């Protein structure tokens, strides 16, 4: 995950070059930065719901602030073989997995059919499906990304008070 200095450097590079929007997506995080035009005030937040937000980063000269969204720890689920992607499995009735669905670790997400042999793809962790990257019935190659899962942090047990509360 990038540190605040790296994000500030991206914002400064955008300011110098005149670029108003930048998105950077890597396997473990995504950064989206949007600058307001010089004549406008800072933009209203447009970050995706459920995404942790960094504070708006401006500089001491009072230039336009940037809206920064960092999505950390997105897990890529990849194809274990070359074959045909079957969302939710091959046996009927099947429940397709869609963006926004909550999944549990070990849950069947899909089957990759290779030479009539089904290869199960299971959730590596509990979380929410952020994106389904392949259409049902599409061919996939070894290592192709199939799903992005946003892990869900477990809540503290009900009998323990939150940290900092007496």
Provide the residue ranges of all domains of the chain, joining segments of one domain with +: 4-72, 75-151
105/64 Cα distance (integer angstroms): 43
Residue 112, Cβ density class (10 Å: 0-12 exposed, 13-18 middle, ≥19 buried): buried
Q: Which of the two residues, 147 and 19, has the higher pLDDT score?
A: 147
- What is the CA 80 to chain-centroid distance, rounded? 21
100/112 Cα distance (integer angstroms): 22
How is domain 75-151 classified at the architecture level of CATH? Beta Barrel (2.40)
Average pLDDT over residues 129-153: 91
Write out the two tokens for 42. 């800072």
Residue 147, Cβ density class (10 Å: 0-12 exposed, 13-18 middle, ≥19 buried): buried
Can you give the pTM of this predicted structure? 0.51
The pLDDT assigned to 1 comes to: 54
The predicted-structure confidence for 42-101, as pLDDT tens digits, reads as follows: 444 433 434 444 444 444 444 444 454 444 578 889 999 999 999 998 888 888 999 999
Average pLDDT over residues 110-121: 93
50-74 burial string, b = 16+ CB within 10 Å, else e? eeeebeebeeeeeebbbbbbbbeeb
The pLDDT assigned to 97 comes to: 94
CA distance readout (Å), 40 to 18, 20, 49, 133: 15, 12, 24, 36
149/98 Cα distance (integer angstroms): 11
The pLDDT assigned to 38 comes to: 55
88, 77, 96, 63: which is closest to 151 by C-alpha? 77
* Per-residue pLDDT band at 140 (split at 50, 70, 90): very high
Judged against a pLDDT cut of 50, whether residue 166 lies above it is answered with no
* Per-residue pLDDT band at 31 (split at 50, 70, 90): confident
Mean per-residue pLDDT over the chain, rounded: 74
């Amino acid at each position: 995950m990038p540190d605040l200095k790296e994000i500030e450097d991206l914002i400064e590079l955008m300011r110098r070059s005149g670029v108003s929007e930048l998105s950077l997506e890597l396997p473990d995080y995504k950064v989206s930065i949007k600058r307001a035009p010089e004549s406008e005030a800072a933009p209203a937040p447009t970050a995706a719901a459920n995404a942790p937000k960094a504070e708006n980063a401006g500089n001491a000269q009072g230039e336009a602030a940037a809206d920064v969204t960092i999505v950390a720890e997105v897990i890529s689920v990849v194809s274990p073989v070359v074959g045909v992607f079957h969302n939710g499995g091959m046996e009927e009735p099947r429940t397709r997995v869609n963006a926004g669905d909550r999944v549990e670790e070990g849950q069947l997400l899909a089957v990759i059919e290779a030479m009539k042999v089904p290869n199960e793809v299971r959730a590596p962790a509990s979380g929410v499906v952020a994106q389904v990257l392949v259409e049902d019935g599409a061919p996939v190659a070894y290592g192709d990304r199939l799903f992005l899962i946003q892990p869900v942090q477990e809540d503290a047990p009900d009998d323990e008070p939150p940290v900092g509360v007496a």
